[in-house]
Amino acid sequence: MLSKRIEKALNDQLNAELWSGYLYLSMAAYFENTNLCGIAHWMNEQAKEEYSHAMRFYKYIIDRSGRVTLTPIDKVPTTWDSPLNAFENAYKHEVKVTGLIHNLAHLAAKEDDPATTVMLHWFITEQVEEEAQTLLIVNKLNMIGKSAGGLLRLDHELNHRGEK
């Protein structure tokens, strides 16, 4: 059984993950509107991934006899100054989410909840990947600069996310 503090914190994170998915979906729409469909594909895949993270929290709360509490999703941005600006925002967001996950891990340790601590290890590892992935794209966009050809090449590359 979850303590009330852990249950609330997990619900807050579940809702934060849904907001993250909404943010990436908004970014996907932005890229669709700018004819960068490969980058839009990448963002759509990221939105799906964030939804799957939310569902991990959902299932965990249920499995631990907790109550899932969904809250309204706050408005997300809908435009960015450039593809680089969008990915810089995505990277900053992932860093923020990492902090939220770390705070959850600290709370689980403080509440002496080893099951939640173990569950959160997956998210801690996942956030290393999330940050690295977005930072790599930020770095590529910085290298590309104002090169339309470079941007189109990156758009093509990102269109293959999810393929094996």
Residue at 98 is within a domain: yes
pTM listed for this prediction: 0.94
DSSP category for residue 128? H
Domain residues for 124? 4-158
Q: Looking at the predicted structure, is the pLDDT value of residue 162 above 90? A: no
CB-CB contact of 13 with 132 (8 Å): no
Contacts made by residues 80-88, CB under 8 angstroms, sequence distance 24+: 80/27, 80/30, 83/31, 83/34, 83/36, 83/39, 83/141, 83/151, 84/138, 84/141, 84/142, 86/27, 86/30, 86/31, 87/134, 87/137, 87/138, 87/141, 88/138
Residue at 59 is within a domain: yes
Residue at 83 is within a domain: yes
CB-CB contact of 120 with 6 (8 Å): no
Residue at 53 is within a domain: yes
CATH number of the structural domain spanning residue 148: 1.20.1260.10
In the chain, how many domains are there? 1
User: Which tens digit of pLDDT belongs to each residue from 118-156?
Assistant: 999 999 999 999 999 999 999 999 999 999 999 999 999
The confidence band for 161, taking pLDDT boundaries of 50, 70 and 90, is confident
User: Which tens digit of pLDDT belongs to each residue from 104-125?
Assistant: 999 999 999 999 999 999 999 9
Q: Which pLDDT belongs to residue 164?
A: 61
Residue at 164 is within a domain: no
Residue at 138 is within a domain: yes
Residue at 81 is within a domain: yes
Residue at 163 is within a domain: no
